[in-house]
Structure formats: structure tokens, C-alpha cells
């Protein structure tokens, strides 16, 4: 490989990330189907993450899986931090999303979700010392503009479509999940992705178990009347978007810069728009093509970045030095 050519591992990284986002795109659609079939949002969240915690625990108990995933157990202190991050940030972020959506619109939620890469990049700079190159900043900026065009268009969002308090709760959820991902990335590079994910999920389940008790009126737990559509949606949420997607994402975080990886998340608005048009009869705007083109351009810019070394190796050297 010459000095002028982009590293092959970046191209492979972005191909994997694109695949993950294709598999992640139906999440909201599956939640919509499950709710329409009688499952409440808090029930979906608790069942989803509880099942994922059990499956990950069973997998990690198998030597063959640990070898295949190159799983390394974290130190007790790091395991505790991962668990607390799940309790205090990751779990509550989902609580905030569901609570906010009872007071604001899903449209506003989509708009606020497009800001996640900006928060992750800022937190990664502050706490992971990731020094984003100009090409990475350009990729984030171009991708954000593309996602904005798909979600909002050539205008500012009409925040009057949702309750102001609900908008603020949703934004707090985005901030909470962004912070959780950055702290988890630091822990992952001291151990491994799947082990840190497991402890984080256990912490999230602890919080989600108390949601129906504390917020029963707004977020009750109920699966009454739920049938095969809800069961199929939950199976997807647990096995595909949960076990596979989160497992692979957390494994990639071991060596790839988080602020670079998160550029791929901007694929979600156009993919979600296409799914909404196909299955929910939602309207597509003419700006979908333009916005999608900008997002694809952002991915190309990100995949062309030249990296000098592995993130994980640098952190291990600092920890052991």
C-alpha cells in the first residue's frame, strides 16, 4: 500500500458500518409494529435488553465464543463502571426517548437524532483525546447537512409540532446515549467490546426494570394482546439490531476511532425514510436524493482518512506506561 492510498482497513470498516446501519434501519418500524400489536414501549425496551443480556451472558460462558470474539474480561473496577454507565446513561437514554415521545412528535425525535454524531465527536475529543483530522470533520459536517435535508429540508424545524419539555427530554436522551458510547469506548479499549457491552446491558436492564414502577401511568409494562407480529419484531430487536449489530459495533470500537465510526449513523434518516414510505405510507420529499448523496459523500470522505496507528494500542501503552 502506498503512502498516497487510503488504508484498506478504513474501506472495510465503512463497508461493515454501512451493513450495520442497513440492519439497524428497521428498528423504529419494528417498534411501531410491536406497539400496534399491543406491546407498550417500556415492555419492548425491557424485554429487548433483558433477552440480549441473557444471550450475551450465555455466549460469554462458552469458550468457543470468547475465542472467536477475542473477549477479554475487564478489571473489576472497569466492569463496575460499565454497569453504572448502563444504569446511569444508557438505560435512562431509552427511558427518556420513550417518555419524550409521549409529549413530542416522532418527527422532532428524528431531527434531534441527527445531532448525535456531533455530540459523540465532541465527547470523543474531550474524553478520548481523539484529534479529528480535517477530513473527518468535513465528513461529519457534510453528512449532518445531508441528514438534515432528508429529515427537515431547507428550513428550520417547527419545534411547535412537539411539547417544548418533550423536545428537551429527547435531546437529553441523545446526549445521554452519546456520553455512554464514549465512556464505553474507553473501557472497551482496556478490555473488549462484547464484555463491556454485557456489563452495560445489565446496568440498563436494572434501570428499565424500575421504569414501569416509577412511571407506570406514562410508561406502563404490558404485553396484553401482543401476538406473532410483536414477537417477530422483538426477535429482530434482540437478535439482529441487538446481538449482531451491537456486538459487531462494540467490537469495531476496540480499534477504530469512535468519532469516525459515528459518521455512518447519518445513514439512518434516508434508510428510515425509505422504510416509512414502503411500509407506513409516509411521504418522500424531493430532497431525499440530495441528502442521501451528501451522506454517501461523507462516507467516502471518512473512508479516505489515513490513520497512523491503532487506537487501542495507543491507550494500552498509556495505561501500562
Q: CB count, 10 Å around CB of 170?
A: 27
Tell whether the torsion through CA atoms of 145, 148, 150 and 154 is positive or negative.
negative
Cα(200)–Cα(113) distance, integer angstroms: 21
Domain positions in the chain are: 8-132+158-260
Residue 90 has pLDDT above 90, yes or no: yes
Across all residues in the chain, what is the average pLDDT?
81
Residue 82 has pLDDT above 50, yes or no: yes
Q: Residue 243 in contact with residue 55, Cβ under 8 Å?
A: yes
pLDDT for 146-188, tens place per residue? 777 766 667 665 555 546 677 778 888 889 999 999 999 999 9
Whole-number CA gyration radius for the chain? 19
Confidence bin at 61 (pLDDT 50/70/90): very high
Closest CA to 23 of 309, 244, 257: 244
DSSP 185-198: HHHHTTS-HHHHHH
Half-sphere exposure in the Cβ direction for 114 (13 Å, CA): 25
Residue 199, classed as helix, strand or coil, is helix
Residue 106 has pLDDT above 90, yes or no: no
List all residues 6 or more positions away from 116 whose beta carbon is below 8 Å from its beta carbon.
174, 177, 178, 262, 265
E strands, 203-268, are: none
Q: CB count, 10 Å around CB of 303?
A: 23
Give me the mean pLDDT over the 68-80 stretch. 96
For residue 284, what is its C-alpha cell? 418522500
Confidence bin at 41 (pLDDT 50/70/90): confident
Pick 1 or 173 by higher pLDDT. 173
Q: Return the H-helix or E-strand segment holding 282.
A: none
List all residues 6 or more positions away from 88 whose beta carbon is below 8 Å from its beta carbon.
203, 207
Cell 473512508 found at:
303
Give me the mean pLDDT over the 236-249 stretch. 94
Confidence bin at 282 (pLDDT 50/70/90): low
**What is the reported pLDDT for 142?**
82
**What is the reported pLDDT for 319?**
43
Give me the mean pLDDT over the 42-64 stretch. 95
Closest CA to 201 of 296, 313, 83: 83
Give me the mean pLDDT over the 13-42 stretch. 84
Residue 211 has pLDDT above 80, yes or no: yes
Confidence bin at 190 (pLDDT 50/70/90): very high
State CA 286 to chain mean position distance. 27
Confidence bin at 7 (pLDDT 50/70/90): very low
**What is the reported pLDDT for 313?**
40
Amino acid at each position: 500500500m502506498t503512502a498516497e492510498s487510503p488504508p484498506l482497513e478504513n474501506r472495510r470498516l465503512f463497508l461493515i458500518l454501512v451493513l450495520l446501519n442497513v440492519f439497524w434501519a428497521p428498528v423504529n418500524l419494528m417498534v411501531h409494529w410491536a406497539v400496534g400489536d399491543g406491546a407498550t414501549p417500556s415492555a419492548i425496551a425491557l424485554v429487548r435488553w433483558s433477552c440480549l443480556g441473557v444471550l450475551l451472558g450465555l455466549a460469554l460462558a462458552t469458550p468457543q465464543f470468547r475465542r472467536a470474539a477475542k473477549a477479554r474480561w475487564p478489571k473489576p473496577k472497569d466492569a463496575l463502571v460499565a454497569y453504572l454507565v448502563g444504569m446511569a446513561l444508557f438505560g435512562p437514554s431509552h427511558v427518556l426517548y420513550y417518555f419524550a415521545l409521549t409529549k413530542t412528535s416522532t418527527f422532532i425525535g428524528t431531527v434531534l437524532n441527527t445531532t448525535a454524531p456531533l455530540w459523540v465527536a465532541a465527547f470523543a475529543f474531550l474524553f478520548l483525546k481523539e484529534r479529528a483530522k480535517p477530513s473527518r470533520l468535513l465528513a461529519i459536517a457534510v453528512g449532518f447537512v445531508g441528514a438534515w435535508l432528508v429529515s427537515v429540508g431547507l428550513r428550520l424545524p417547527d419545534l411547535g409540532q412537539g411539547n417544548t419539555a418533550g423536545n428537551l427530554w429527547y435531546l437529553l436522551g441523545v446526549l445521554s446515549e452519546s456520553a455512554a458510547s464514549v465512556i464505553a469506548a474507553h473501557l472497551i479499549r482496556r478490555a473488549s467490546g462484547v464484555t463491556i457491552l454485557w456489563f452495560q446491558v445489565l446496568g440498563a436492564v436494572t434501570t428499565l426494570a424500575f421504569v414501569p414502577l416509577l412511571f407506570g401511568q406514562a410508561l406502563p409494562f404490558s404485553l396484553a394482546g401482543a401476538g406473532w407480529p410483536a414477537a417477530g419484531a422483538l426477535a429482530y430487536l434482540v437478535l439482529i439490531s441487538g446481538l449482531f449489530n451491537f456486538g459487531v459495533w462494540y467490537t469495531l470500537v476496540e480499534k477504530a476511532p469512535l468519532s469516525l465510526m459515528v459518521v455512518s449513523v447519518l445513514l439512518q434518516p434516508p434508510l428510515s425514510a425509505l422504510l416509512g414510505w414502503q411500509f407506513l405510507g409516509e411521504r418522500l420529499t424531493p430532497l431525499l436524493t440530495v441528502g442521501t448523496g451528501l451522506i454517501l459523500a461523507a462516507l467516502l470522505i471518512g473512508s479516505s482518512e489515513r490513520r497512523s496507528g491503532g487506537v487501542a494500542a495507543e491507550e494500552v501503552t498509556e495505561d501500562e506506561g
